């Protein structure tokens, strides 16, 4: 019998808890370093990244490289008491940490000084979104934490990009043990275009 979403989430949480934080950080750096050598990264003029939760696959190397390489970088901020979020552009002329504040679940989020990315989508031809998740399949299926933040935002982003003819690539970021043969999926679950993992 196929596993339910809560069952998969529980199993992955237990696996993450058993892993050494230092090993996970090293794996994250390997994944990011490989992605930074790709044509996709080099041709992207906007990167939507995220600030990781503890023991979550971390895109911080990609985030820092995007700023260093002069690409537009946006990070998410959750709307309090909701299941929606928006991405905000990080200013290139200020240190990253000076533009962040503690938000939902004690995760760093862009502060009020940052500009909402969505109305500016038309300025960018190629956008890559680095997407976190509890688990993925090689075919691009994704299981999130169950709140719908990314599914809701990505739908809005894709609609905006269709209007402006900007292209979007969704790249799921995960460790090997988060890459599963199959996942329980529903019609509203958005699939990734590619998966960034060690294997």
Question: Residue 173's closest CA among 63, 71, 32, 79?
Answer: 32
Q: What is the pLDDT of residue 186?
A: 83
Q: What is the pLDDT of residue 1?
A: 67
Please answer whether residues 196 and 31 qualify as being in contact, where contact means their C-beta atoms are separated by less than 8 angstroms: yes
Please tell me the pTM assigned to this model.
0.95
Averaged over successive runs of 10 residues, the pLDDT of the chain (199 residues) comes to: 90 95 96 97 98 95 97 95 94 94 90 95 97 97 93 96 96 97 88 94
Q: What is the pLDDT of residue 82?
A: 87
Per DSSP, what are the bridge partners of residue 169? Answer: 128
> Alpha-carbon distance 67 to 27, whole Å?
22
| E-only strand ranges, the chain | 46-48, 72-78, 85-89, 100-102, 108-110, 115-116, 126-131, 135-136, 142-143, 167-173, 194-196
Q: Which long-range contacts (CB under 8 A, 24 or more apart) does 148-155 make?
A: 148/83, 148/188, 149/76, 149/78, 149/83, 149/84, 149/85, 150/190, 151/188, 151/189, 151/190, 152/83, 152/84, 152/85, 153/76, 153/84, 153/85, 153/86, 153/87, 154/129, 154/190, 155/190
Please answer whether residues 7 and 136 qualify as being in contact, where contact means their C-beta atoms are separated by less than 8 angstroms: no
């Amino acid at each position: 019998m196929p596993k339910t979403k809560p069952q998969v989430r529980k199993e992955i949480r237990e696996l993450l808890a058993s892993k050494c934080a230092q090993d996970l950080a090293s794996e994250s750096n390997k994944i990011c370093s490989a992605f930074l050598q790709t044509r996709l990264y080099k041709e992207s003029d906007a990167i939507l990244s995220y600030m990781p939760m503890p023991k979550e696959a971390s895109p911080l190397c990609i985030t820092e490289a995007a700023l260093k390489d002069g690409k537009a970088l946006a990070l998410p901020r959750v709307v309090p008491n909701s299941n929606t979020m928006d991405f905000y552009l990080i200013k290139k002329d200020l240190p990253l940490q000076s533009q962040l504040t503690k938000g939902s679940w004690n995760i760093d989020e862009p502060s009020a000084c940052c500009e909402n990315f969505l109305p500016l989508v038309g300025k960018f031809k190629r956008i890559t979104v680095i997407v976190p998740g509890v688990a993925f399949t090689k075919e691009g299926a994704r299981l999130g934490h169950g709140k719908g933040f990314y599914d809701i935002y990505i739908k809005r982003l894709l609609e905006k990009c269709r209007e402006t003819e900007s292209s979007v690539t969704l790249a799921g970021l995960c460790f090997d043990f988060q890459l599963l043969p199959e996942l329980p999926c529903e019609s509203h679950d958005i699939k990734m275009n590619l998966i960034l993992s060690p294997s």
